[in-house]
Structures are given as C-alpha cells and as structure tokens.
Amino acid sequence: MTDFTYVVGTDGVATITWDVPGKSMNVMSLAGFAELSGFVDQALADAGVKGVVITSGKKDFAGGMDLNVIAKMKDDAGAEPARGLFEGVMAMHGILRKIERAGMDPKTLKGGKPIAAALPGTALGIGLELPLACHRIFAADNPKAKIGLPEIMVGIFPGAGGTTRLSRKLGAMAAAPFLLEGKLSDPKAAKAAGIIDEVVADPVAAARAWVLSATDADLVKPWDAKGYKMPGGAPYHPAGFMTFVGASAMVHGKTMGVYPAAKALLAAVYEGALVPFDTALKIEARWFTNVMMNPSSGAMIRSLFINKEALEKGANRPRVPDQSVQKLGVLGAGMMGAGIAYVAAQAGISVVLIDASQEAADKGKGYSEALLEKSVQRRKLSEEKKADVLGRITATTDYAVLEGCDLVVEAVFEDVGVKAGVTAKAEAVIPSSAVFATNTSTLPISHLAKASMRPEQFIGIHFFSPVDKMALVEIIRGKQTGDVAVAKALDFVRQIRKTPIVVNDARFFYANRCIIPYINEGIRMVAEGVNPVLIENAAKLVGMPLGPLQLVDETSIDLGVKIAKATKAAMGAEYPDGAVDEVLFWMADEGRLGKKANAGFYAYDPAGKRAGLWEGLAARYPEATEQPALGEVQHRLLFAQVLEAVRALEEGVLTDIREGDVGAILGWGFAPWSGGPFAWLDIIGAPRAVEICEGLEAAHGARFAAPALLREMAAKGQNFYGRFTAAKAA
C-alpha cells in the first residue's frame, strides 16, 4: 500500500507526501499510520536528512480518520475490545509523539530534527492532529479550506492527541469551541486562534525554508519545556477553576448528559491538565476507549456519517441515466415554495416561481433576496453572486413560462382541488418527459396523482421547514410512480445538497407519521394530569431537541387541529385520539394557537420569547397527586415514535432501516445520540423493547402493543442492523 511517499531532496529535506490512491480526499487508515511511522523512522535514522516536511499530494491535506475504520474498531479489537482499543490508540499516540520528539535527547531536548506540516487545504480530525504533533504548521492562503476537529459531531472526540495538544496549546477556554462544538475555521481564522502557525502562498516552500533554519529551541513544544503552565490556568488555578466549572455546566446544559463524547472530552481535558503530558495522552486514550465502547458512538457514526453519505450518494437510486434538473418550476410562492426556489437557485438551477398574484410571487422571490442580503452583510457573499442567484429566479403568474421545466414542485395550499388545478395547468405546458412533484405534508400522493396526465411521472418531494436549514428531504413514491421520477427527485436533492430518504405512500409518509404520536403522547399526559414541566424535561433529558409541547407550539395548534380533523374523517371509528383532541381543540378555542400567536402551551413575552409553561393549563388539567417516574415518561415519549417507525417498516412504507434512522435524526431531531429509532432498539435489544412495550400497553393501552416484527426478532435473538443489513446484502 502507498498512502504516503518519501523523497529526500538535495537540500537534505525529506518530504513525506500523503496521497491515498483512488480517493479525492486523504483519510487515515491503520495501515496508513504504520506507513507514515516507517517513513518518520527512516528520516530520523538517516544522517543525511536535516528535517522533514509532511504534506499532501491532493488539493486538501486530509479529511480525517476513515470513519469506516473507526466504526469497526471495536469489533476488530479482539476478545477484550476495551484493552485492544486502548492499546491501538496508544500505538497511534506513540507514532505522533515520536514525530513531536523527533529524536531529541529527552533530558536536554536537543538534537531533534525539525518536522513541519504543510497544508494545501482542508485539514480535519487526524488531518489536524498529525500537524499538531509537528513542530510548525504552514497552511496555504486558501479561504475555502476548513481546519478543525469535528469528531464531536459524530459522537466521538479527537482521540489522537488533538484533545490534549489543542487544550495545552490554546488553554481549555479558548480550545472549547473547537473541541466541544467541532468549530471549523479557514486558515486565517485558525492562525488568529493560534491553532496553526503561518498562512502563506506556498506552504511547502515555506515549510522547507523553516526546516532548514530551525534551531533546537524551535522544536520544543511548550508542554515539553520546563515550567509550562496551561494558558488560562489549569483546574486548580483560580481562573482555570472558573473555566472548568463553567464548561461542565455548559456541556451538561447543551447535551443534557446524553452525549457520552462531550462528557468524556471534558473529563480528558480536566484530568489531563493535572498531570504531565504523556500521562495526559494516556488519560485521553482511556476516555476515547470509554466512548468507543459506548454503543452510542458506533450508532452515531453509522447513521450520521456512513449511512447518511450512502443515501446522499444514491444508495437507493434506481439505475437510470442522470436526471439532474436544469429548469425548475415552483408552484406557490408561500413559505415552502419560496424556500424551495431559494435552495434551487443557490444550486445553480433556473427557477420559475409561480403564485396566483404577481405580488405573492414577488414576495416569494423577496425571501431569497432577504437571505442573500444577510450573507452579503456578513461578508459571506459578494453583490455579484447575490445578483447571479436572484437572476436565476423568475417570479410570475404566467404558467407559459414553465415551458422547458424538467421538474415542477408544487407547494400551493394543502387542498386537493387547488393542487389538482395547478397540476393540470402546469402539465399543459411542461415537456412530456418532465416530472411533477408535490410538497404535500398530509395528502396521499397516489390520490393527488389522479389529477396528473402522467402518474408514473408524479411523485412526492416533501421538504421540511425552514427549507434552507433542514437537511432532510422525504421522497414519496406513489402507487404508480416510476423509477425515472424517483431518480429525478434524488438527483434534485443531490443538487441542492440535502439528504434524501425514499418512502412509500401512506398516511403522513414517514417523518410526520412518527412525530405526531410524540406530540400526541405529550398532550395526552397533560390531560392525565402529568406535570407539563416533567413532560418537557423528560423529553429533553432523553435527547429530544424540543419537548412535545414546545414542538406543537412551534408548528401551531391550529395545524394540529386541522390534521386531527382530517385524520378523524379518514379513519372513522378507528381514530384513537379523543383525549388528545379535547386538549387541542380547547386550546384552539382559547385562541392559544402556539408561538405564532404568542400564546400556546407556553406563555410568551411580547417579544415572542418563551416565558414558562402557561398557567391556565394547570387550572384546566390539575396536576395529579401522584406523578409518573421520569423513566416512564421517557419511555412513553420514545416508544410513541419508535413503534411507529417499526410499523412503517412492517408495512413497507420504509424499505431501508438506514433511511428510517437517518430520516428520524435529520427530519425531526430524534435523539441523535441513539443513532435513530432502529439503532436505539438495537442498543436496548428486542427482548427488552418487547418487555417495555408490555408494561406500557398494560398501563396505557394498545397503542404500545409490541409490533409482530419486534416480537419475532426478540424470539429469534435478532437485531435490526443484523437482520436487515444481511437481507439487503443477500
């Protein structure tokens, strides 16, 4: 294998070039690490080599550790995985520490060879941890380059010395945003923060020149020098004490204690700061092992990275030729239509934005203008680029302008008749090969397709609000939808850089189907006299971004009423939600329509800020004297969602559990630490899940009955990823 190459120049500088074959971005593997180590040994042993420059043969330095390797680390770590993991991580530390000490005498700190990192572009994760172990970091003046340690975003933390080195280099307080939030910077900002040393036009040339002129003193890291003190103070320093107390509270406030990596990171920094550097690395390795042993980290990496990327790359795309969108029609320039037009124009697609009046169409385009202007104000966008994007949107009432559109997305009122009208008008103009999509959130696609002349080219493309922020797009296949339409929708989602899932047509599709029971369970508990504060906090303490009552306030009570009425009409006698409707309809009658009305389950101040739960709730639904345990409330809220996901899988609405997990986290924020509903059920195991269902069913009713699939899996000793990954591969 040749991930690295080694060349010694006539000037005595050895260049180690990282260039993983067949990949556009370097990622580190265990074999790559061994190769790097061998070249470092070679350079240190060769008397003719004066120093080393480590650089990349690609436009970027590196994207990080190969997450596929990390995901498998635990399984590959042998009979005693914790020991195997720890030893593997320590071996990595050994290599990086060898670079850092560079052959110097451990007592006098003299005689080492200078090793500099030259970063042509992006340097993330191990791609920054390796440079941090070098003696000086030079980065190209490339504003597009991203520099940072984003590990925390996928449920781990920088475990190859990045945590220990960065906190010692910058101080715990200054390092916090980079370690705890995974903040990325461009090279100039990274230099200003003290992460890298120099931003230059030609980093390799600058690194070479530095290597040739470096003195013994230049190679000694502050933490290896006598009298090192952590910037900002170590934990027992008065200022440091304040930092750590504050950070601990902040981390807990943000993570609610459910993300093991954030806690472990903080512990590694705190404990590491009390001991010498090499012991700190050992502590970092122990905490890293602890996080890797927690099933949450593997589940997060699998859903938030590996499977998300697989879906974005078209894991479930039918094999038909490229269907990239050239000209998009958007019907309805309201909240959703305006957002769809914006993301499409941003992606370089020409957009025709239609509404019933010119004023409404212009207002929809105005939404893009306002967002773009904000970017200009923040100096993130030039006036020219803004004009470019806006120039791609034609706001009109004239359907004739839709001529030549290869995709139309309809986002008019949620009304079958109105939707049928615009479908017919658009199809009269667009090419016969064009695909027509609806952004409906509640109406069955197969029913709406009846208004289409070409139902095989009719599909659901369901966006989430706000369109420019939400990463998920749910693509819904109607009964007659053909493969080309699915590919078209997937290619469009790829163009606008969002993550797709493809589901079959059924009431509320997938995301709304699961989130509605969550909201309803919360409301049901209010009716039972469960303290609303307990309901909301139970949700947050289990990692839901919003409690069910806050969520319904945000989406609005009248929308809830509308959905409840429509569902009841459709389901007739099978409709289960009398208790929920009583609360919901009463709230609507009271004019408490949610956040938009400044009055809902929460009270709001005149500026629209939440000011605690509304007191009127307790007057109507007095608190029961006996309150349920926190765990019981959490199980109700989680099982309301995950059982619906399992049923969606049983019924064939979902055809891929990866989509079920990724869609849940990106679509409605399902406890990301769990990796999604199926990943979570795998963590607790089917037998335990069935047992919890039985308890909940006995206490609260048949909605918690364990689905047959779950029972079968419990009986057979199966888990979802085992069963369904094997089925996919077969």
- Which active-site residues does the annotation give? 441, 462, 474, 512
504 binds ligand NAD (CB under 6 A): no
335 binds ligand NAD (CB under 6 A): yes
Beta bridge partners of 123: 62, 147
Residue in 126, 90, 103, 122 with CA at minimum distance from that of residue 40: 103
Please state the closest distance from residue 415 (CB atom) to ligand NAD, in A: 8
Please give the C-alpha separations between residue 8 and each of 14, 52, 102, 326, in angstroms, as whole numbers. 4, 9, 17, 50
Task: Tell me the residue nearest to ligand NAD as measured from the CB.
Answer: 334
Q: Strand 115-119 and strand 136-140: pairing?
A: parallel
Q: What is the 3-state secondary structure (H, E, C) of 636-652?
A: HHHHHHHHHHHHHHHCC
Please state the closest distance from residue 77 (CB atom) to ligand NAD, in A: 44
CA distance 146 to 519: 39
Helix, strand, coil abundance in the chain, percent, nearest 5: 55, 10, 30
| DSSP secondary structure, 530-545, as one string | --HHHHHHHHHHTT-S
Q: Contact at 8 Å (CB) between 329 and 430? A: yes
413 binds ligand NAD (CB under 6 A): yes
Please state the closest distance from residue 141 (CB atom) to ligand NAD, in A: 42
CA distance 344 to 350: 8
Footprint on residues 347-386 left by ligand NAD (CB under 6 A): 354-356, 360
Please state the closest distance from residue 414 (CB atom) to ligand NAD, in A: 4
Among 55-63, 120-128, 400-408, 437-445, the segment contacting ligand NAD (CB under 6 A): 437-445
What interhelical angle do 238-255 and 260-272 show, nearest 10? 170
Among 5-13, 429-437, 457-465, 472-480, the segment contacting ligand NAD (CB under 6 A): 457-465
Beta bridge partners of 354: 331, 396
465 binds ligand NAD (CB under 6 A): yes
Q: Which of 412, 448, 489, 681 binds ligand NAD (CB under 6 A)?
A: 412
Among 287-295, 329-337, 371-379, 652-660, the segment contacting ligand NAD (CB under 6 A): 329-337
Torsion angle (degrees, nearest 10) of CA 75, 81, 83, 89: 30
Closer to ligand NAD by Cβ: residue 516 or 706? 516
418 binds ligand NAD (CB under 6 A): yes
Beta strands in 174-316 (DSSP E): 198-200
Residue 348: φ, ψ to 5°: 90, 10
Q: Strand 327-331 and strand 147-148: pairing?
A: unpaired
Closer to ligand NAD by Cβ: residue 179 or 422? 422
Closer to ligand NAD by Cβ: residue 64 or 339? 339
637 binds ligand NAD (CB under 6 A): no
236 binds ligand NAD (CB under 6 A): no
Q: Contact at 8 Å (CB) between 613 and 602? A: yes
Question: CA 112 from chain center: how many Å?
Answer: 42
Closer to ligand NAD by Cβ: residue 154 or 402? 402
Please state the closest distance from residue 83 (CB atom) to ligand NAD, in A: 50
461 binds ligand NAD (CB under 6 A): no
394 binds ligand NAD (CB under 6 A): no
Among 173-181, 410-418, 535-543, 656-664, the segment contacting ligand NAD (CB under 6 A): 410-418
CA distance 455 to 451: 8
659 binds ligand NAD (CB under 6 A): no
422 binds ligand NAD (CB under 6 A): yes
CA distance 212 to 197: 17
Q: Which of 440, 481, 499, 520 binds ligand NAD (CB under 6 A)?
A: 440
Please state the closest distance from residue 354 (CB atom) to ligand NAD, in A: 6
457 binds ligand NAD (CB under 6 A): no
474 binds ligand NAD (CB under 6 A): no
Q: Which of 142, 441, 452, 499 binds ligand NAD (CB under 6 A)?
A: 441
Residue numbers at the binding site for ligand NAD (CB under 6 A): 331-337, 354-356, 360, 411-414, 418, 421-422, 439-441, 462-463, 465
